[in-house]
Amino acid sequence: MNASAGSVLRFSKMHGAGNDFLIFDRRDGRDWPSADTLRQLADRHFGIGCDQIISIEADRDGHPGYDIRNSDGSPAAQCGNGARCVAAWLWRDGAVDTREFVMHSPAGLVPTTRDDDGRFEVVLGVPDFDPASLPMVDPDAPAVFEVGDREWTYRVCSMGNPHALIEVEKLDATDVTGIGSTLQHSGRFPEGVNVGFAEVLGDDHIRLVVNERGAGVTLACGSGACAAAALLIRTGRVHSPLRIDMPGGTLQVRWNGGGEPVALAGPATFVFEGEVPA
């Protein structure tokens, strides 16, 4: 499982509700592969294929850490499904052996709990609803944009990375790729934005699809699930805990509101291990 010195890069392929990752060990201080190499590894036709690539980092202050790159090679601050996969990787590796531990991420500390069934819950921080936190070019501008002859309204939330949420009546009848890409390329979000589309099924149940920056529409997005839950709970549309059905599986989000952090639970699955030239 560990990355060896020299010309070989060993990796683990994992997924959380279909949101898939290549995870490799960078605790020996090796450099990140180049952006071109990351794009080749992430390519589903000419590489291994993944939504994001995660490196296990050297401990800081006694806590294991991780870093994230999108499939286009750009850095990412946080990924909830990836955090759970890192937790499962660390447990399997023997780097952690307690039910509760803390991980370092680019977005900050991630308290983590393993339950009796081997599922992991990660606490991803306090949601920030200030548009300037994403950031946005004009935080005070109306949160409305047009696609064709229709207007779409969105709300924003930062979970360490930027999210916009659009509530829709019927998810299956929504062009999540086209609408999401239009907002992503609108020039409003200088660092990009993940665009979620939510269909409320009940007061504790939604469906969600996320068009992720740097990755496109994915089977699941953990930070997107947290952002959607926080936005919908905050406005009284749903309550906590919230079941979130995504194309790749089901996640659960807990949030008590106010300045409390959001917790995300769900599966973390090993697919296979392999090695590629470094």
Active site residues: 79, 221
Beta bridge partners of 21: 14, 52
Tokens of 169: 């009546």
Residue 186 CA to residue 178 CA, distance in Å, equals 12
Residue 33 CA to residue 118 CA, distance in Å, equals 31
What is the residue whose two structure tokens read 């990755």?
Answer: 215
Report the SS3 class of residue 83.
helix
**Checking phi first, is residue 24 left (phi over 0); if not, alpha (psi -120 to 50) or beta?**
beta
Q: Are β-strands 19-25 and 52-60 bridged in parallel, bridged antiparallel, or unpaired?
A: parallel
Residue 142 CA to residue 74 CA, distance in Å, equals 29
Q: Rounded to whole angstroms, what are the CA distances from 82 to 51, 74, 212, 235, 256?
A: 10, 16, 14, 28, 23
**Nearest Cα to 87, choosing from 116, 65, 106?**
65
Q: How many residues does the chain have?
A: 278
